[in-house]
Amino acid sequence: MSVMPDIVPISELRQDATSVLKRTASTGNPVFVTQHGRAAAVIMSAAVYEKTQNELEILKMLLKGQQDIEAGVGRSMTEVMADADTLLAEA
């Protein structure tokens, strides 16, 4: 992402939405839409949105794993690695 955020007033978005969409698709950077001088929305390409959602899911899984470790729930790394070795040997 660039150092300076791409900020567009909602009036500009209304006038030239196609250009704003092309810009976010080509740069991969989000466009912040303002209304009455305040941030109102963020526009991002579908590809960036999908990547962000995938990363968020991974972070949620890591958090769940950390919570399980702290609660003493789950399996040891040795057990997990043994299962992984078995699966890889079968492939």
Residue numbers of the chain with a pLDDT score lower than 70: 1-3
What is the pLDDT, as a whole number, of residue 74?
Answer: 82
> What whole-number distance in Å separates Cα of residue 44 and Cα of residue 23?
10
pTM of the model: 0.68
Long-range contacts of 6-15 (CB under 8 A, 24+ apart): 6/30, 6/31, 6/32, 7/31, 7/32, 7/33, 7/34, 8/32, 8/33, 8/34, 9/33, 9/34, 9/35, 10/34, 10/35, 10/40, 13/43
